[in-house]
Amino acid sequence: MRQNLANFSSSKPLRVVRILEAGQAPAQVGRLRISGRMADVCAELDRLAAREANVH
């Protein structure tokens, strides 16, 4: 049975993965891989930007 693409994309969870390079201190940011629905990814980017603004 073929699944509707709209149903598949709406059920995809938000995933945020932090990637640290070898020898990088844990306090350094590294890279982030964010995947999921566009609305969820944008909301996560907004949350990260607001968090950074509060730190600086």
pLDDT of residue 6: 56
3-state secondary structure of 22: coil
3-state secondary structure of 18: strand
Q: Which domain holds residue 28?
A: 5-55
Task: Give the total number of structural domains in the chain.
Answer: 1
Chain segment 4-56, per-residue pLDDT in tens: 555 555 568 999 998 888 887 777 778 899 999 999 999 999 999 999 899 87
Per the confidence metrics, is the pTM higher than 0.85?
no
CA–CA distance, 42 with 45 (Å, rounded to integer): 5
pLDDT of residue 1: 44
